Amino acid sequence: DAEITQSPRHKITETGRQVTLACHQTWNHNNMFWYRQDLGHGLRLIHYSYGVHDTNKGEVSDGYSVSRSNTEDLPLTLESAASSQTSVYFCASSSGLAPNEQFFGPGTRLTVL
């Protein structure tokens, strides 16, 4: 069965360190998205990609970067982790066909100390 996976599921890091969160999907979807979930804010879009070598900034992209070298993967990098980036991160993908239903991974809980 097709799926979308994230790793690690839990990560503790220190302020200033570079961190990369992995996202891998076997749906063969063109579109991939990264969100963060915080209490009182719901899900906020960080970055998204509509295909290989395509990346776009979402509403809360500062301090984050992504790259899309193949269809299956969209890793999210925190260049220099900050305590404000402590959150639960979700990756999602969609096929690009209407009505744009997104499929979500299980999430990564990141703590920045």
Instruction: Identify which range of 11-19, 43-51, 60-68, 79-87 contacts another protein by CB under 8 A.
Output: 43-51
Instruction: Identify which range of 16-24, 37-45, 60-68, 72-80 contacts another protein by CB under 8 A.
Output: 37-45
Q: Decide whether 58 or 63 has the Cβ nearer to another protein.
A: 58
Pairing of strands 42-51, 54-57: antiparallel
Of 46, 78, 105, 110, the one binding another protein (CB under 8 A) is 105
